[in-house]
Amino acid sequence: MLPSRSAPAPFYEKVKQEISEKIASGIWQAHDRIPSEAELVAQYGFSRMTINRALRELTDEGVLVRLQGVGTFVAEPKGQSALFEIRSIADEINARQHQHRCEVLTLERTQANAQQALVLNVKEGTPIFHSIMVHYENDLPVQIEDRCVNAEIVPEYLAQDYSQTTPHAYLSLIAPLTEGEHIVEAVRASAEECALLKIKEHDPCLLIRRKTWSASSIVSHARLLFPGSRYRLQGRFMS
């Protein structure tokens, strides 16, 4: 009886192995952008379907991070205990198999006022970035995001296309979260906020104040306002 021969590895497995080896050897490091699908097709001579499967499986395995319209990046190693995960509104909406879109109202460089300086732990007058966005679920407004960002830590914040990605996704890539703080309140929205959320003046709202750190530095502070009838806060804890 002839000894059995193992079948050759599929092409996508070869691509996965080579990418993994480049990451393991330090050629590509955490947060590095890797070549695009088209560039990898040209490099390996395999079909786009083969390259796409390799990248998709490496993303599912946590080796890569793919941001639509931005690119594919080497993920932060999962073994680090400092990781802190907060899901973005886009991820929550997509998980419900609904359509998410974002309308950018303000995207600017400004000087920190007293309140912004306090929450970012910087001096008053320090240059920071400020953004205001409305997030929609199936064309219904579900969140106003008012965020101030430490410009020194994330210098390219204003250059991103937030119709293709979200501040949460971009900040998590550039300055991986190591600590987070949530303060939750029931509030009434201002007249302007009611108009943006398409709610009545006295409709209840849920406000989440979210502060995030990377290492020992505060990256951003976000004021997230939701219509109370369209959002619920849910968590699961184990002792």
Mean pLDDT of the chain: 86
pLDDT of residue 2: 45
pLDDT of residue 65: 82
Contact at 8 Å (CB) between 150 and 219?
A: yes
Half-sphere exposure of 24 (CA within 13 A, CB side): 6
| CA dist 104 → 82, 107, 117, 203 (Å) | 31, 7, 23, 24
Confidence of residue 140 (pLDDT cuts 50, 70, 90): very high
235 has a pLDDT exceeding 80:
no
Domains of the chain by range and CATH?
Answer: 11-74 (1.10.10.10), 89-227 (3.40.1410.10)
Confidence of residue 215 (pLDDT cuts 50, 70, 90): confident
111 has a pLDDT exceeding 70:
yes
pLDDT of residue 233: 61
Kindly report, residue by residue over 58-100, the tens digit of the pLDDT.
988 878 887 767 788 888 664 333 334 467 788 888 878 889 9
Contact at 8 Å (CB) between 112 and 125?
A: yes
Kindly report, residue by residue over 167-204, the tens digit of the pLDDT.
998 998 898 888 888 888 889 999 999 999 999 988 88
> The whole model's pTM is what?
0.65
pLDDT of residue 193: 96
Kindly report, residue by residue over 16-49, the tens digit of the pLDDT.
999 999 988 889 988 788 999 999 999 999 999 9
pLDDT of residue 6: 52
| Phi and psi at residue 105, to the nearest 5° | -95, -40
